[in-house]
Amino acid sequence: QVLLVESGGGLVQTGDSLTLSCVASGRTSSLYATAWFRQAPGKERQFVASLLWNFGTTNYADALKGRFTISRDKVKNTLYLRMNSLEPGDTAVYYCAANEPPNRVIYNYWGQGTQVTVSS
């Protein structure tokens, strides 16, 4: 079992930067893939970025590439999402997710989410 706890959300202005954190606890040695998703009011959950925990390989949603950066600190068991040049369209609840073998496709562990609000 893996527990994920996000933090770092808040109210910011257009153009600001923000870094979200997601601390993993429990069976962290078995983590395979980790990711950030977001969900805006009335919209479906959207993939933001992913990172293979042991390899560091990253992948981004095309529309967010260049503004968002996913990273991790394996010692602290923490996943990060650095968001630059924030826009009102980035307003959403941001969730971190993870999985472990044998499941390497579906994210079966989710955090509770952290709200990011970007004012114009």
pLDDT of residue 66: 94
- How many residues are recorded in the chain? 120
The predicted-structure confidence for 71-92, as pLDDT tens digits, reads as follows 999 999 999 999 999 999 999 9
Position 105 confidence tier, pLDDT thresholds 50, 70, 90: confident
Share of the chain above pLDDT 70, in %: 100
Question: Hunting for tokens 């004012």 — which residue is that?
Answer: 119
45 in Cβ contact with 95 (< 8 Å): yes
Average pLDDT score over the chain: 96
Position 8 confidence tier, pLDDT thresholds 50, 70, 90: very high
